[in-house]
Amino acid sequence: MLNPTRRDDVSGKLILLSVYRINLSKRIYNAYMIEGKSKIKSVGLALGSGGSRGLAHIGAIKALVENGIPIDYIAGSSAGALIGGIFAKYENIDQIITLASSLNYKDFVSMFFVPRFSSGILRTDKATQYLENILQGVDIEKLSIPFAAVATDIYSGETITINKGNLASAIIASSSVPLLFEPALHNLKYLVDGAVSMPVPSSVVRDMGANIVIAVNLEQSKPIINNPSTKTKPSAAFVTYTTIEILKGKLAEYNIKDADFVINPKFDYSPLDMRKFIHGEDTINAGEKEMLVLIPKIKECINSSL
């Protein structure tokens, strides 16, 4: 029989051996991961800009969740940052659908109609507070799903990725449509809508660690013309608005080249049509319908790594 001193010595050696094995296993695992040989692929969502069309993101996420597709990372631009950020906070798509269905015109007026004519028609103070209440003041670092919002530095034109700090403020910065809303001050930089520089942040979510990138592109490079046979001379306002929409659509087409799967739901209304935020059932359904088509291929891609 071992004496107490001898027994303690043996126990100590066994503990040290166990610790060594654990550390060795971690080093082997980390090396395995660094080499990109993980058998389990992670899925990232790149949710694009699109104004009121952004409700399509809800339907797209719903299709993924209900079909067991994991969502490991989310990057959003403008409307994509809004929907993606709320989902990253609650991870409950039914709760988001309920929230979207409860919006009314009074909410929009109270949130946005705070005139400021110096650098944007509308201020974002009340909208920020509204989001703060919904998101409970959470910081991005506290989210279970890694999240990033993209915005644009109005002085440098640089795409700014916001992956730290207050979630509501990040969403507002990413959604500050030029001329319509005042620029957001973030880390000593004045930021405007992410769509100005990156309508669909596919590369951002890839850099976050996603092996499989699913992009939702809501921009359209083809103008929406109710009566294309009309040959009347376009107004200055129409030319300005349509030019911007075409540029965003072309930029989005470039952005989605870094995605593995892409849906491009089409709409016959402007992203600035706020009525669609109030009556958004068709928009949500459009996103879900498009994503459901891709589900079998996405599952096949994920399972091919197992």
Residue 63 CB partners (closer than 8 Å, separation 6+) = 287, 288, 291, 292, 295
φ/ψ (deg, to 5) at 258:
-90, 5
78 labelled catalytic: yes
Residue 9 CB partners (closer than 8 Å, separation 6+) = none
193 labelled catalytic: yes
User: Beta-carbon neighbour count of residue 88 at 10 Å?
Assistant: 24
Is residue 206 within 8 Å of 213, Cβ to Cβ? Answer: yes
Strand pairing partners for 213? 44
Burial class (CB in 10 A: 0-12, 13-18, 19+), 85: buried
Catalytic residue among 174, 175, 176, 193: 193
Catalytic residue among 42, 49, 77, 78: 78
**For the chain, what's the residue count?**
306
Question: What single-letter amino acid sits at 49?
Answer: S
The rounded Cα 3 to chain-centroid distance in angstroms is 63
Is residue 134 within 8 Å of 99, Cβ to Cβ? Answer: yes
For residue 220, the 8-state DSSP code is -
Is residue 84 within 8 Å of 147, Cβ to Cβ? Answer: yes
Rounded Cα–Cα distance for residues 50 and 149 (Å): 14
Strands (E), 131-175: 147-153, 159-162
- Region class of 68: left (phi > 0), else alpha (psi between -120 and 50), else beta: left
Catalytic residues: 78, 193
